[in-house]
Amino acid sequence: MIQVAINGYGTIGKRVADAVRAQPDMEVLGVAKTRPNFEAETAIDKGFPLYAAIEEREHLFEEAGLDIAGSVDELVADADVVVDATPSGIGAENKSLYEEYETPALYQGGEDADLVGVSFNARSNFEDAAEADHVRVVSCNTTGLSRVIAPLREEYGVEKVRATLVRRGGDPGQTSRGPINDILPNPVTIPSHHGPDVETIFDDLDIDTLGMKVPATLMHMHSLNVTLEEEVDAADVRELFADESRLFLIPEHMAIDGSGKLKEYALDAGRPRGDVWENAIWEESISTVGRDLYLFQGIHQESDVVPENIDAIRAVLGAADAEESIETTDETLGIGL
């Protein structure tokens, strides 16, 4: 069994921990938190060994009545791989710790691409991460864009991608985020950081991205225009996407007209936390005019990178090839709404 350490047990870390537990070839060695809170209590309730990420704060856990298994150094030393799910920028600070114990590490998309040798998306470049010591699982938006671009490139060729990303202001639990009553160009300059980030997966791709932030917490929304290298019928694109396990085509008859109903559907379907691990593409939005393809897709920022982290674990350890890993991850998580 692959022994997985998870440094950071917040929005992403707790979801990765649950996903690791569901795998037949992995187990959670432990999770690390910087301070006691409701997530730390939940980790213990679930049976995850809890480690203190900051040695000087160990007493805070004791004062809160939470038993800790040790320090994060001990956790990293004993692990086969570390998933760093700490806030943006902290992963870079933690890199020297992982290097000290020669433990391969996965970082999240908030870290700079220059921190690692490989940026990772399971559908697009699984093999690039083989035996790499430091790998960055790209952000929720880059993950969503890459999952669509990869099959289009393979089937038709892609001349140009233009994407407008309407981004949620913050996650449901991020009470300090905003805006509350505004619509912000973010950034006001073009391109947004998402385009260059996608180019860390496809280095020869021509892509322009624009970003906005809106007073919502549920999901991001993408408006895509992809110029293909040949004319194609929309029905053929729908058929192509239907074969991709991490693309969910929302049928018109389901009457899901926005993120709210999509999340409601995920909850009704029994998804933990109402997570939507797949890109959610409105099927009737898939349209073509000549070589230009258009579509809308919803991206659940809290969860779409979770299966990617699981696949990246296997990739860096050489535990499976892309097809085997993705199939196992999808099956164990129940991916495919």
**Residue 322's CATH number:** 3.40.50.720
Residue of 204, 93, 81, 199 whose CA lies nearest to 142 = 199
Task: Please give the annotated binding residues, written as ranges.
Answer: 11-12, 110, 139-141, 168, 194-195, 301
Residues in the chain: 337
Q: What is the CATH number of the domain that holds 283?
A: 3.30.360.10
Could you give the angle at the alpha carbon of 114 between the alpha carbons of 109 and 119, nearest 5°?
A: 45
Question: Measuring CA to CA, how many Å separate 274 from each of 87, 175, 197, 262, 265?
Answer: 22, 19, 27, 9, 8
* Mean per-residue pLDDT, 251-266: 97
337: pLDDT strictly greater than 80? no
The answer to whether residues 151 and 268 belong to one domain is yes
Segment 255-269 shows an average pLDDT of 97
pLDDT in tens, 152-175: 999 999 999 999 999 989 888 887
Say whether both 278 and 148 belong to one domain.
yes
Predicted pLDDT at 20: 98
Q: Are residues 73 and 162 in the same domain?
A: no
User: What is the per-residue pLDDT for 178?
Assistant: 87
Residues 130, 52, single domain; the answer is yes
pLDDT value of position 171: 87
List for the chain the helix, strand, coil content (%; round to 5). Answer: 40, 25, 35
pLDDT score recorded for residue 170: 86
* Mean per-residue pLDDT, 122-138: 97
For residues 180 and 289, membership in a common domain is answered with yes
Is 336:277 a contact under the CB 8 Å cutoff? no
Phi and psi at residue 271, to the nearest 5°: -70, 135
Total number of domains constituting the chain: 2
> pLDDT tens, 8-17?
999 999 999 9
* pLDDT at residue 29 tops 90: yes
pLDDT for 155 equals: 98
**Which domain does 13 fall in, by range?**
2-137+305-333
The reply to whether 124 and 148 lie within a common domain is no
Q: Do both 56 and 203 map to the same domain?
A: no
pLDDT for 195 equals 96
* Pair 125, 237 in one domain: no
Instruction: Please indicate whether residue 140 is annotated as part of the active site.
Output: yes
Q: Quote the pLDDT of residue 177.
A: 85
Binding residue numbers for NAD(+): 11-12, 110, 168, 301
Q: Is the pLDDT of residue 93 over 90?
A: yes
Binding residues for D-glyceraldehyde 3-phosphate: 139-141, 194-195
Co-location of 268 and 323 in the same domain: no
pLDDT of residue 173: 84
**Alpha carbon of residue 88 to chain centroid:** 14
Q: Is the pTM of this model over 0.95?
A: yes
Read off the DSSP letter of residue 228: E
Same domain? For 101 and 183 the reply is: no
118/148 same-domain check: no
Q: What is the dihedral of CA 236, 238, 244, 248, to 10 degrees?
A: 180
Q: What is the DSSP letter of 193?
A: T
146 shares a domain with 133: no
Active-site position among 122, 140, 262, 306: 140
User: What average pLDDT does the structure give for the chain?
Assistant: 97
